[in-house]
Amino acid sequence: MSNTTSGNDDSKFYLDLLRAYFDSANDAIFVLCDERKFLVCNRTTQDWLGATEEELTRHNQRMPITDFFRDEDSEQRFRKAFDAALQGEPQRFECHIHPSPERALWVEMSVSRVNVAAGDMVIVVARDISQTHAQQLALQHQATHDSLTGLPNRQLLQDRLNHIIREARHAGERVALITLDLDRFKDINNTLGHDVGDRLLVQMATRLRQLVERSAFVAREGGDEFAVLMPRADPEQAQQLARRILVAMEQPFEIDMDSDVPLQSFLLGATIGVALFPEHGADAGTLIRHADVAMYQAKRLNSGVALYEPGQDQHSPERLGLLGELRRAISDNELVLHYQPIIDIATRRMTGVEALVRWNHPTRGLLAPDHFVPLAEHTGLIRSLDRWVVQAALRSRQDWARQGIDLDMSVNLSVGSLQDVLIAEWLIEQLRSSKVAAGRLQVEVTESAMMTEPERAVEVLTRLAATGVSIAVDDFGTGYSSLAYLKRLPLHKIKIDKSFVINMAENDDDTMIVHSTIELAHNLNFAVVAEGVENAQSWSLLKALRCDAAQGLHIAKAMPAEALGPWIKTSGWKL
C-alpha cells in the first residue's frame, strides 16, 4: 500500500467513521445553509422528518427546515435563534416541530454557526424531549387544576384574573368575576357521603362549563365554590349570566346511587356574588374577596344573585357598627319578641305560640330577624341572643299564665347554640326559676344546624331531650336530612317548611310532598306542624292529610305579647 493510497484510505476511513458516528446519534443533527435549507443531515433527522437525506438536500430543491414548523410561536423562536446564531451567538431553546400534521415533537435545539470555505452555515442539534415535556405539563396541570372536576383551581384563577385585568386595563375594558356557592351541598355531603358529593360536583362543573361562552374561564375555588371569569363584561351582562347560571343550578341533578334503584334526583340551587374590575377592585385578590362578600349578601337577602356594593363587607365600618349596636341592643332590651299562634287542627284549639325576635332599632325602626340574626350567627353573639329570647319568652309565658292563658312556648335555637354544650344545664336553670314544666317548652332547630358538626349537635340535642324539653325540626324539607336519619335523633316534631305549604292549594307537587312528609313522620311517631298556612284551602287540605298543627297568616301573624290576650278573645280560636 502506497503512502498516498494509505492517506486517502485513512481519510475515507475517518470520513466513514465520522458518518457512522453522525448517523448513530440519538439526536437529530443537521447543517443548514444561510437560507435555512438542509445541506447535510443524519439518520435520526431523516427518521423524524420521514424524508431521506437525498430528498432533503437534493440540489436546487433543498428543503427549508421552516417547512416542518406548524405553530407560529415555534417558528418565530427558531428564526430568531437562527439569525442570532448566524451572527456568531449560539442559541439553545425549546420548540415544536411537526414532521407531519399528525406528528409533533417537542425538541430542545442547539444552533451554532460553522465557518467553512464555502461560507457560513448553521449546525443544529435537536433532542427529542417530548416525554419530559409531557411530564412537565402534567405536573403543571396537576398543580393548577382540581383533580376531581378537571377545572382550573384557585391558584390558576388568580393568575388568569391578574393577567386578564392587565389586558383590560390596557384596553379600557371591564372584567366580571362571578362566584357561586352551592346551597345545600354540605348537607348532602354530610348525610349521603363524599362519593355522592363528588359526583354532584362533577355534574355541576360540566353544567357550568356548558353554560358559559368559550371566552369565559371557569374555575373551582375549593369545596362547593366555583368561579366564572368573564372578560369584556358590563354589570348588566354579568348579572344576566349569573341569573342564567342560577336557573341552571336549580334544575335537578340526577345520580345513579345503586343499580337496583332508579336515578336519584337532587335539588341543589346556588347563590351568586358578582364583582367587576375596575370599580370593585384593581387586583385579583380584592376582586375575589369582593365577589365573596356579594355572595354572602345574596345569601343573607335570599336574593340568589348580588352585585358587590361597598359597605356589605363583613369588616366594613357599617357592619362592625351594627354588630356593636346589636351587642348593646341585647343588653339594653332593644330586642322584642312577637308571638305567632299555633293551632291544633283536629280540635281547632290554640295550643302554643312561637317566639319570633325583632329589633326595635332606635333609628331604623322595627327590624325583621333576617336583618340581624344572620349577622349574629356569624359571630358568637347568637348565643347571647338565643338566651335572651328564651328568658324573655319564659317571662311572657308567666305573664299569660297569671291571666289564665296556658300555652306551649316554642323558641328557635341557632346553630351556635346547638354547639353550646352548656345550653341544656342553662335551660334547666331557666325552667326552674320561671316555674315552667320542661314539657311546655319546645326548641326549634333547623336541619342544616343539625348537620353542622353533627356529632356535637347530637350530644347537645340528647342533653336537651333529657331535660324533658321537646325538640322540633324547623324548616323541614329545605335541607337534606332524611326522616330515617332524623329518627336516630331525640326529636319530637317536624315543622314542614312554609315554602311547601304556602302554595299547596294551587300546586299538586307541593301537596304531594306535604302528604308524604306527614305519612312518613307519623310512621316514625313525629307530630307534624305546617308553617305558612295562609288560606282556608291549605287548612282544609292539611286537615284531610291529618296534619297535627298549623301556623300562618290564615290564623294570625306574630304579635306583641300584650296583643295576644285581646286577640284570643276576638279571633274565634279557642284556648
Interface residues toward ligand C2E, by CB under 6 A = 340, 355-357, 368-369, 373, 386, 389, 412, 414, 444, 474-475, 498, 502, 531-534, 551-553, 558
149 binds, among ligand C2E, Ca ion, none (CB under 5 to 8 A by kind): none
CA dihedral 468, 469, 474, 477 (to 10 degrees): 10
91 binds, among Ca ion, ligand C2E, none (CB under 5 to 8 A by kind): none
Question: Which residue in 66, 123, 130 sits closest to 94, CA to CA?
Answer: 130
Joined together, the cell numbers standing for residue 230 give 368573564
Sign of the Cα pseudo-torsion (128, 132, 134, 136, in order): negative
DSSP state of 309: -
| Shortest reach from residue 504's CB to ligand C2E, in Å | 12
Joined together, the cell numbers standing for residue 257 give 346511587
Residues 6+ apart with CB under 8 A from 189: 196, 197
User: Kind of pairing, strands 527-530 and 253-255?
Assistant: unpaired
Contact flag: residue 412 with Ca ion (CB under 5 A) = yes
Contact flag: residue 478 with Ca ion (CB under 5 A) = no
Nearest residue (beta carbon) to Ca ion: 444
Complex with ligand C2E: residue 224 or 474, whichever CB lies closer: 474
Complex with ligand C2E: residue 325 or 444, whichever CB lies closer: 444
Complex with ligand C2E: residue 219 or 494, whichever CB lies closer: 494
| Shortest reach from residue 523's CB to ligand C2E, in Å | 24
Complex with ligand C2E: residue 245 or 357, whichever CB lies closer: 357
386 binds, among Ca ion, ligand C2E, none (CB under 5 to 8 A by kind): ligand C2E
| Shortest reach from residue 513's CB to ligand C2E, in Å | 17
Contact flag: residue 444 with Ca ion (CB under 5 A) = yes
User: In this structure, how many other beta carbons lie within 10 angstroms of the beta carbon of residue 355?
Assistant: 22
| Shortest reach from residue 338's CB to ligand C2E, in Å | 7
What per-residue string of b and e applies to 477-495 under the rule 16 or more CB within 10 Å gives b?
A: bbbbbebebbeebebebbb
Q: For residue 353, what are the β-bridge partners? A: 341, 409
| Shortest reach from residue 497's CB to ligand C2E, in Å | 7
Joined together, the cell numbers standing for residue 213 give 361562552
Complex with Ca ion: residue 227 or 460, whichever CB lies closer: 460
Complex with Ca ion: residue 82 or 526, whichever CB lies closer: 526
Given phi > 0 = left and psi -120 to 50 = alpha, else beta, which region is 125?
Answer: beta
Question: Which residue in 174, 173, 158 sits closest to 277, CA to CA?
Answer: 174
| Shortest reach from residue 444's CB to Ca ion, in Å | 4
Segment interacting with Ca ion, rule: CB under 5 A, options 65-73, 141-149, 407-415, 522-530: 407-415
CB 355 within 8 A of CB 342: no
53 binds, among ligand C2E, Ca ion, none (CB under 5 to 8 A by kind): none
553 binds, among ligand C2E, Ca ion, none (CB under 5 to 8 A by kind): ligand C2E
CA dihedral 237, 242, 247, 252 (to 10 degrees): 150
Please report how the helices 317-331 and 381-402 are oriented relative to each other, as an axis angle in degrees rounded to 10: 30
| Shortest reach from residue 413's CB to ligand C2E, in Å | 6
String of contacts with Ca ion for each residue 55-74, x by CB under 5 A: --------------------
Q: Work out which of 146, 221, 292, 474 binds Ca ion, going by CB under 5 A.
A: 474
DSSP string computed for 488-509: TS---EEEE-HHHHTTTTT-HH
468 binds, among ligand C2E, Ca ion, none (CB under 5 to 8 A by kind): none
558 binds, among Ca ion, ligand C2E, none (CB under 5 to 8 A by kind): ligand C2E
Residues 6+ apart with CB under 8 A from 2: none
Complex with Ca ion: residue 53 or 531, whichever CB lies closer: 531
Complex with ligand C2E: residue 65 or 335, whichever CB lies closer: 335
Reported as type and span, the H/E element at residue 131 is helix 130-144
| Shortest reach from residue 384's CB to ligand C2E, in Å | 11
Sheet arrangement for strand 270-277: 217-222, 225-231, 175-182, 270-277, 305-307
Contact flag: residue 475 with Ca ion (CB under 5 A) = yes
Complex with ligand C2E: residue 224 or 444, whichever CB lies closer: 444
DSSP state of 252: P
| Shortest reach from residue 500's CB to ligand C2E, in Å | 12
In terms of Cβ atoms closer than 10 Å to its own Cβ (0-12, 13-18, 19+), residue 437 is exposed
Contact flag: residue 181 with Ca ion (CB under 5 A) = no
173 binds, among ligand C2E, Ca ion, none (CB under 5 to 8 A by kind): none
| Shortest reach from residue 531's CB to Ca ion, in Å | 5
In terms of Cβ atoms closer than 10 Å to its own Cβ (0-12, 13-18, 19+), residue 213 is exposed
CA separation (Å) from 178 to 175, 254, 472?
Answer: 10, 25, 37
| Shortest reach from residue 301's CB to ligand C2E, in Å | 13
389 binds, among Ca ion, ligand C2E, none (CB under 5 to 8 A by kind): ligand C2E
518 binds, among ligand C2E, Ca ion, none (CB under 5 to 8 A by kind): none
String of contacts with Ca ion for each residue 499-528, x by CB under 5 A: ------------------------------
| Shortest reach from residue 389's CB to ligand C2E, in Å | 4
Nearest residue (beta carbon) to ligand C2E: 552
DSSP state of 573: -
Rounded CA-CA distance 517/513 in Å is: 6
User: Kind of pairing, strands 441-446 and 408-412?
Assistant: parallel
Complex with Ca ion: residue 350 or 355, whichever CB lies closer: 355
Query: Applying CB under 5 A, which residues contact Ca ion?
Result: 412, 444, 474-475, 531
